Structure 1
Amino acid sequence: MKILPNLLFTGFLFCSQTLPADEVTGIGPEQLLDMQQNRNALVVDIRTADEWQHSGVIADSRKLQSFDRQGRFDQEKWLADLEKMKSSPDQPVILVCRSGNRSGKVGAFLAQQAGMKNIYHLDNGLQSWLKAGHPVSPNCLQVACK
């Protein structure tokens, strides 16, 4: 892992002035369910292990932590792991975090820097999911919770 690229990427993620909102589409909880059921969307929870443990995860979502406890992001490994999760190159990917902030920024990175298509994020994150009254599955040790 190279420190300079990680610092640059971290700065990119947290400098919202450089992230046009139209590069990643925000969706609501009902749209997430619809896309998950009817378009084979891959739901990826990018929160930390502590967050998964605290609040659970959306059923059939996959866990892929974006930052480690020290705030580092291994961009190459993360992208490779994401690609392994996808069933096809054009499969829709929906990113989930706690509030929608991280998922929007990581989604913008995927669209702008990685050139990925069909990238979405859950507006207002897991908070909106819970507010809409949808259940979560308890955190489990496997990558996919079913």
Structure 2
Amino acid sequence: MYVWSYSFCLLMDVIVTNNIPGKVSQIDNTRLKSLLEQGVAIVDIRRPEEWRMTGIVAESHLLTFFDEDGGNDPAAWLALLKPLVLPGEPLILICRTGYRTNLICDLLVETTEYQELYNVADGILGWVAEGFPVTHCPTVT
């Protein structure tokens, strides 16, 4: 519970004060495609059942942030993220609609060395609705 409360307080501080030292960019699907072509890493933070339901952007690293009850452990998640995308490198986050990843981007830019963050504003649903390709999610246990 402490981790969730601390994370929530950090998020509220960011939202209320807008005191963000780095940069979070809200991007559309055309910009997402361009960034992927440039080799910027993308992390899909959704849950495995969500990946299976819609498919995933082909280049995505699959790294769930919120558990089935909405809880999270930012320190543990960050420990899993660092081997995938080094701190200081640009990073794209995607979820279902862009809401969860927007919160996570703000948290990361406020509390970590990840300072160039891109939030896919319409999430995977927007990507699919515009006809961009997805791949089936590999089996995840």
- The answer to whether the superposition gives a TM-score over 0.5 is yes
1:37 equivalent to 2:37? Answer yes
Query: For structure 1, which runs of at least 5 residues remain unmatched after alignment?
Result: none
Number of corresponding residues:
139
SS of the counterpart of 1:24? strand
Query: For structure 2, which runs of at least 5 residues remain unmatched after alignment?
Result: none
TM-score after normalising by structure 1? 0.83
| 1:55–1:41 CA distance, 2 compared to 1 (3 A) | same
- The alpha carbon displacement at 1:4 in A equals 1.2
- What is the RMSD computed on CA atoms of the aligned residues? 2.4
TM-score after normalising by structure 2? 0.86
The whole-number CA distance in structure 1 between the counterparts of 2:96 and 2:29 is: 13
Say whether the 8 Å CA contact 2:41–2:91 is kept in structure 1. Answer: yes
**Match among 6, 9, 12 for residue 8 of structure 1:** 6
The whole-number CA distance in structure 2 between the counterparts of 1:10 and 1:140 is: 31
Say whether the 8 Å CA contact 2:66–2:72 is kept in structure 1. Answer: yes
The whole-number CA distance in structure 2 between the counterparts of 1:116 and 1:34 is: 20
Say whether the 8 Å CA contact 2:24–2:106 is kept in structure 1. Answer: yes
Identity %: 27
**Match among 123, 126, 129 for residue 128 of structure 1:** 126
